[in-house]
Structure 1
Amino acid sequence: MNKKGKETPSEFIFQKKNYTIMFIGLVCIALGFVLMSGGGSDDPNTFNPEIFSFRRIRLAPTLVIIGFALEVYAILASPKKKENKGK
């Protein structure tokens, strides 16, 4: 409500497109962290070379960076303004 007692229509800050891009970014980030996990060894005296695999060194961090870039794009993407045709 504004000062004169009239209801003001509440609008979302982002549109459906922005939320979709945000969701895709979150999925990319989560997938990157899942791919990055693991590769350790139960015995601290043994070395597991799997920790330096392509998946953990290149693919997973790239997915995380792409996910964060999508998040920034989704926030900065300006929504299309609807024109009032009746006025």
Structure 2
Amino acid sequence: MTNKQPIFPFDRANYFIMILGLLLILLGFIIMASDKEPYGFGFLGITLGPIVLLLGFLVQFVAIFYKSKK
């Protein structure tokens, strides 16, 4: 009987960065939904929300390729 530990594709740091990215994506959608202009054509819906969304997706990209030093 050997004591094998499961092999996960990512480390704890990767999952933490992924959670941060998901929170940024959720925040971007909330910002866009909170725009009070008609059809979301205000600053929040056109500029700030998409920028936060893009940052969230970039953080997800970093989380996938991040390699922790052990």
* 1:63 equivalent in structure 2: 52
Matched, 1:16 2:5: no
Using the TM superposition, give the Cα deviation of residue 13 of structure 1 relative to its aligned residue in structure 2, in angstroms: 1.9
Q: CA contact under 8 A between 2:32 and 2:49: conserved in structure 1?
A: yes
Matched, 1:53 2:49: no
Q: Could you say which structure has the larger radius of gyration?
A: 1
Q: How many residues align?
A: 70
* 1:37 equivalent in structure 2: 33
**Structure 2: how far apart are the matches of 1:64 and 1:27?**
10
Provide the identity percentage. 36
Give TM-score scaled by structure 1 length.
Answer: 0.66
Give TM-score scaled by structure 2 length.
Answer: 0.79
Structure 1 runs not aligned, ≥5 long: 41-47, 82-87
Over the aligned positions, Cα root-mean-square deviation in angstroms equals 2.2
**Structure 2: how far apart are the matches of 1:38 and 1:24?**
21
Of residues 22, 25, 39, the one that matches 2:21 is 25
Q: Between Structure 1 and Structure 2, which shows a larger proportion of helix residues?
A: 2
Structure 2 runs not aligned, ≥5 long: none
Runs of 4+, deviation exceeding 6 Å: none
**Structure 2: how far apart are the matches of 1:73 and 1:39?**
29
